[in-house]
Chain A
Amino acid sequence: MYEFTYHRPGSVSEAAKLAGEHADGKILAGGQTLLPTMKQRLAGPSDLIDLSRLDDLRGIEVKGGVVTIKALTRHVTVATSADVKAAIPALAELAGMIGDPAVRNKGTIGGSVANNDPAADYPSACLALGATITTNKRAIKADDFFKGLFETALEEGEIITSISFPVPEKANYQKFRNPASRYALVGVFVAKTGGHVRVAVTGAGSRGVFRVKDFEAALDANFAPAALDGKSVAASGLNSDIHADAEYRAHLITVMAKRAVAAAA
Chain B
Amino acid sequence: MTAVSMTVNGQHVSAEIDPRTLLVQFLREHLRLTGTHVGCDTSQCGCCVVHVNGDAIKSCTTLAATCDGADVVTIEGLAKGDVLHPMQAAFRENHGLQCGFCTPGMIMTAVELVRRKGTDLDEHTIREELEGNLCRCTGYHNIVKAIGAGAQAMGAAAE
Binding site for B on A (CB under 8 A): 1, 3-6, 8, 28, 31-32, 35-36, 39, 48, 50, 52, 76, 99-103, 105-106, 180-182
Contacts and interface: CB of A to CB of B under 8 A. Distances in A.
Given A6-B65, A48-B63, A101-B109, 12 more contacts: A8-B65, A8-B68, A28-B63, A28-B66, A31-B66, A35-B22, A101-B131, A102-B57, A105-B55, A105-B57, A180-B44, A182-B131
A255 B56 CA distance: 35
A117 to B, nearest CB: 14
A106 B62 contact: yes
Nearest to A38: B20
Interface of B: 2, 19-20, 22, 41-44, 46, 49, 55-58, 61-63, 65-66, 68, 109, 112-113, 129, 131-133
B131 A31 contact: no
Contact of A102 (B20, B56, B63, B65): B56
B44 A35 contact: no
Cβ-closest 7 pairs across A and B: A100-B132, A6-B19, A105-B55, A100-B131, A1-B20, A102-B58, A102-B132
Tell me whether chain B's interface is mostly helix, strand or loop, or mixed. mixed
15 contacts: A1-B20, A5-B19, A28-B63, A31-B66, A32-B43, A35-B61, A39-B41, A99-B132, A101-B129, A102-B43, A102-B49, A102-B132, A103-B132, A106-B55, A182-B131
B62 A31 contact: yes
Nearest to A4: B19
Contacts of A8: 65, 68
A76 B43 CA distance: 17
Contact of B61 (A48, A76, A101, A106): A106
Contacts of B66: 28, 31, 50, 52
Interface centre among A3, A5, A102 (most CB of B within 10 A): A102
Nearest to A100: B132
A81 B22 CA distance: 30
